[in-house]
């Protein structure tokens, strides 16, 4: 009686083991398949992620290259602008320097001319004083007559268009009074030049020593001794300088 029970228990135990093994195998296969599916899905995700990472890397490289290219362009543009500004500043500095030199040279020339004119005027004044001291009153009057007659003769030869002005009066400045003959001759010459009669206003000025100065409404006809000295002194100076150059 005991043996059949033991056999039944053994068979039951074996069946239970077989059932459990079948059940375990089924669950194990399902779990393995699921794990394999998850692994495949993970591999696909990993591959996609790698692609995304590679694409992002390429984009970063492209952006970096683009940034470097833009930086090079900006640097080159800045260099060109700096060169342009430098060149313009150099040109402006050269122009300023040239203008300053020209202005300085012009100022030197102006001062030189003013000094020469001042020296010449001083020479004229000194020469006039010397002549006035050396010449007697009669000599000065005789020189006056000669200079006035000379101016009248020169006026006869001058182109009348050069002295033609629209005036009704003329101021005549001399160191000594004019003779009636000189006044008449002067009036006729001026009348012929202007085209109508003109009133002469005579004024004495001993400073001119000898000669005659005619003022026609601002146009000056200078036949005074001082004016002749102004013309002669520069010529004498040039002649003296020429002799000095030859001697050297």
CATH number at residue 162: 3.30.2320
Q: Which domain holds residue 225?
A: 136-247
The pLDDT, as a whole number, for residue 1 is 58
The pLDDT, as a whole number, for residue 48 is 86
The sheet with strand 169-174 has its strands ordered as: 199-204, 169-174, 212-216, 219-222
The pLDDT, as a whole number, for residue 199 is 87
Distance CA 59, CA 66 (A): 10
Q: pTM of whole model > 0.95? A: no
The pLDDT, as a whole number, for residue 42 is 80
The pLDDT, as a whole number, for residue 233 is 63
Number of domains in the chain: 1
Cross-strand partners of 213? 173, 222
The pLDDT, as a whole number, for residue 115 is 80
The answer to whether position 142 is within a domain reads: yes
The pLDDT, as a whole number, for residue 247 is 53
The pLDDT, as a whole number, for residue 160 is 67
The pLDDT, as a whole number, for residue 124 is 67
The answer to whether position 116 is within a domain reads: no
Distance CA 41, CA 47 (A): 10
Going residue by residue through the chain, which has 248 residues, state the pLDDT in tens, using 9 for 90 and above: 566 777 777 777 777 877 777 777 777 777 777 778 777 888 888 888 888 888 888 888 888 888 888 888 888 888 888 888 888 888 888 888 888 888 888 888 888 888 877 776 777 677 667 776 777 778 878 888 888 888 888 877 777 676 667 788 889 998 888 888 888 888 888 888 777 888 888 999 887 778 888 888 888 888 877 777 777 666 666 665 665 555 55
3-state secondary structure of 224: coil
The answer to whether position 170 is within a domain reads: yes
The answer to whether position 25 is within a domain reads: no
The answer to whether position 185 is within a domain reads: yes
The answer to whether position 146 is within a domain reads: yes
The answer to whether position 173 is within a domain reads: yes
The answer to whether position 30 is within a domain reads: no
- The upper half-sphere exposure of residue 126, i.e. CA atoms within 13 Å in the direction of its Cβ, equals 7
């Amino acid at each position: 009686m005991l043996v059949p029970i033991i056999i039944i228990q053994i068979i039951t135990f074996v069946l239970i083991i077989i059932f459990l093994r079948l059940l375990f195998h089924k669950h194990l296969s399902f779990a393995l398949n699921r794990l394999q599916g998850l692994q495949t899905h993970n591999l696909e995700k990993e591959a996609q992620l790698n692609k995304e990472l590679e694409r992002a890397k390429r984009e970063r490289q492209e952006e970096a290259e683009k940034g470097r290219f833009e930086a090079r362009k900006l640097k080159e543009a800045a260099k060109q602008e700096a060169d342009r500004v430098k060149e313009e500043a150099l040109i402006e500095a050269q122009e300023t320097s040239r203008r300053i030199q020209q202005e300085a040279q012009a100022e030197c020339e102006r001062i030189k001319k003013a000094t020469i004119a001042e020296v010449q005027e001083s020479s004229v004044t000194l020469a006039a004083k010397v002549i006035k001291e050396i010449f007697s009153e009669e000599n000065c009057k005789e020189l006056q007559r000669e200079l006035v007659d000379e101016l009248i003769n020169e006026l006869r030869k001058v182109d009348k268009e050069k002295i033609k002005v629209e005036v009704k009066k003329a101021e005549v400045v001399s160191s000594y009074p004019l003779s009636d003959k000189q006044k008449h001759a002067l009036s006729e010459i001026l009348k012929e030049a202007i085209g109508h009669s003109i009133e002469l206003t005579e004024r004495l000025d001993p400073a001119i020593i000898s000669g005659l100065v005619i003022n026609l409404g601002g146009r000056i006809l200078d036949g005074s001794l001082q004016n002749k000295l102004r013309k002669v002194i520069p010529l004498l100076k040039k002649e003296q300088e020429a002799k000095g150059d030859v001697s050297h």
